[in-house]
Chains A and B, each alone.
Chain A
């Protein structure tokens, strides 16, 4: 598939927003039931504000993907059948509920916990919707797996917790270490799942062949022309247009940038308490996630490509 940067930014940015909210709300809950000291209110409020900001940026990026953004509101209508439509509903709901939770927390209202629970439900639903948009396309075999959902969840959590660690080092230093530990743990589990995905995809056998595509059962079938010589939507939208070597480089880049490097920087930053190192950890991990998402799209081989293997 052609990796569209609008979708890459959408999925990574809302991932950070969701992970960050989960981290903030987890700390709020833990202190609410009295298992730890109360965090600085500014930490919770700033966490919510940043979560809303990231989610809003993601929402903005998604408009970039549309050919007709002025009709985007129509996308909320088919929630009964379409995961994309469900995401279109749940993303603003998540945004609004996190904003409401942050606001009620700031004003000290008793409603902050119930609203937080509401945001939590929206957050989980958003992870499911985003993952299912890809996992439900059964003939994109690289995506049609529960691992896709788990990967989106874990990478969102890992990057969000990394940002929460940075925020804690500035506003609630008491929580820096525990958040860094969680962040490193989530990053490690995410690496295991991503590695499992890579291993699964490396072993995939395409269900469709050029024989099943045109219905000729001969073992040797070769395309000679595709009906157009200057390319078409089909040649632009479904291929990344890069070499295998480039793809491999991106894979190793994200395997390094999204996982071990930020984990190391998190450990360094948390043990020294240096916010700059933690900021670097988040920046490195986010760049790694951009590469990861690019690779996620580029690796998916659409069966329609069987019809577009030769120009003439």
Chain B
């Protein structure tokens, strides 16, 4: 069975809020009606958003890291917000695992928001119904837009490609591979909600240096197998450091 989800790479998110504005733009213009704002151009502006980018500081000065943390509905595989809904307005789609709210059935009792430990649901103060990320369900299946753009608006907008989108139940999908190979994790695993959205952790800054980069393969002086001496020495040294057993003796020619 399909479970569509986002995988968010905290290692490359720069906190630009492009996903937030893109999400708001798409979803406030959609068939389901606007996402209302109050005082948008005034003091204390507030409004309904599906997606927010928050910022956290990790560590103690001067050894601090800034983590930009986009947060939206995680489309849990065992969503606690769905069974509590008294009207059935909150539901999880069988075919793709998206958790949705039927705005025509919602009575605005806010019980589902109480039942979500992530604070992913926000009431629309004008329409008085509960709203949340739809994973752009009105976009991802739309045959009228080019196939490459049939992704959630936030994913399309991300300038650093920090947001991956796909089926986490398909082991060969980009998102499944990212979760598997780059330590993808779920938020608040202690509640057993099994969020479909995953996050990729920050990695410590290591730079992989390739021998070609050091030797300047495009150097006009370069002759294959016979490269200028100082560089050859550096390469040998690097090889020895990386793999002492197989590297030739350092020194160069």
Interface pair A225/B54, CB less than 8 Å apart: yes
Once A74-B87, A233-B48 are accepted as A-B contacts, the answer to whether A215 and B55 lie under 8 Å apart by CB is: no
Of residues 199 through 253 on chain A, the ones whose CB sits less than 8 Å from some CB of chain B are 207-208, 210, 212-216, 218, 220-234, 237-238
A108 CA / B111 CA spacing, docked (Å) = 43
Interface pair B87/A66, CB less than 8 Å apart: no
Residue in B closest to A304 when the chains form the complex, CB atoms: B119
Once A207-B190, A224-B56 are accepted as A-B contacts, the answer to whether A232 and B86 lie under 8 Å apart by CB is: no
Query: Is B129 located at the chain interface by the 8 A CB criterion?
Result: yes
Please tell me the size bucket of the interface on B.
Answer: 35 or more
Query: Is A103 located at the chain interface by the 8 A CB criterion?
Result: no
Contact with A along B184-228 (1 / 0, CB 8 A): 011111110000000101100000000000000000000000000
The segment out of B26-34, B57-65, B133-141, B144-152 that lies at the interface is B57-65
Q: Give 5 nearest A-B pairs by CB, closest first.
A: A67-B108, A67-B128, A304-B119, A227-B52, A85-B86
Interface pair B88/A71, CB less than 8 Å apart: no
Once A78-B88, A82-B86, A137-B114 are accepted as A-B contacts, the answer to whether A216 and B58 lie under 8 Å apart by CB is: yes
Interface pair A66/B60, CB less than 8 Å apart: no
Contacts of B85 in A (CB 8 A): 78, 82
Chain A residues within CB distance 8 Å of chain B: 1, 65-69, 71-72, 74-78, 81-85, 88, 133, 136-140, 207-208, 210, 212-216, 218, 220-234, 237-238, 302-305, 307-308
The segment out of B39-47, B156-164, B239-247 that lies at the interface is B39-47
A223 CA / B68 CA spacing, docked (Å) = 10
* Interface CB pairs A-B, < 8 A, 27: A67-B110, A74-B88, A75-B86, A76-B86, A78-B86, A82-B83, A82-B84, A82-B85, A139-B80, A208-B191, A210-B56, A212-B188, A220-B58, A221-B56, A221-B57, A221-B58, A224-B66, A227-B53, A229-B45, A230-B39, A230-B44, A232-B46, A233-B123, A234-B122, A238-B119, A302-B117, A304-B119
Contacts of B128 in A (CB 8 A): 67-68
Distance to closest chain B CB from A44 (angstroms): 34
Interface pair B54/A227, CB less than 8 Å apart: yes
Query: Is B182 located at the chain interface by the 8 A CB criterion?
Result: no
Among B47, B58, B114, B123, point to the contact of A218 (Cβ < 8 A): B58
Interface pair A208/B58, CB less than 8 Å apart: no
Interface pair B107/A68, CB less than 8 Å apart: yes
Contacts of B110 in A (CB 8 A): 65, 67, 237
Once A69-B107, A230-B39 are accepted as A-B contacts, the answer to whether A216 and B67 lie under 8 Å apart by CB is: yes
Interface pair B86/A88, CB less than 8 Å apart: yes
Interface pair B88/A222, CB less than 8 Å apart: no
Interface pair A65/B109, CB less than 8 Å apart: yes
Interface pair B71/A307, CB less than 8 Å apart: yes
Once A68-B107, A230-B45 are accepted as A-B contacts, the answer to whether A302 and B56 lie under 8 Å apart by CB is: no
Interface pair B108/A222, CB less than 8 Å apart: no
Once A303-B117, A304-B118 are accepted as A-B contacts, the answer to whether A208 and B188 lie under 8 Å apart by CB is: yes
From B46, B116, B125, name the one whose CB has the most chain A CB atoms within 10 angstroms. B46
Interface pair B83/A81, CB less than 8 Å apart: yes
Interface pair A218/B59, CB less than 8 Å apart: yes
Query: Is B12 located at the chain interface by the 8 A CB criterion?
Result: no
Contacts of B187 in A (CB 8 A): 212-215
Among A75, A137, A139, A227, point to the contact of B109 (Cβ < 8 A): A75
A308 CA / B46 CA spacing, docked (Å) = 14
Interface pair B49/A67, CB less than 8 Å apart: no
Residue in B closest to A140 when the chains form the complex, CB atoms: B114
Distance to closest chain A CB from B2 (angstroms): 23
Once A138-B191, A222-B57, A227-B71 are accepted as A-B contacts, the answer to whether A304 and B117 lie under 8 Å apart by CB is: yes
Residue in B closest to A72 when the chains form the complex, CB atoms: B107
Query: Is B100 located at the chain interface by the 8 A CB criterion?
Result: no
Among A72, A78, A225, A233, point to the contact of B122 (Cβ < 8 A): A233
Interface pair A220/B86, CB less than 8 Å apart: no
Interface pair A212/B56, CB less than 8 Å apart: no
Given contacts A75-B109, A216-B58, 18 further A-B contacts (CB under 8 A): A65-B109, A65-B110, A67-B106, A67-B127, A71-B106, A74-B86, A81-B84, A82-B84, A82-B111, A140-B114, A207-B191, A214-B67, A214-B187, A220-B58, A221-B58, A224-B57, A227-B17, A234-B122
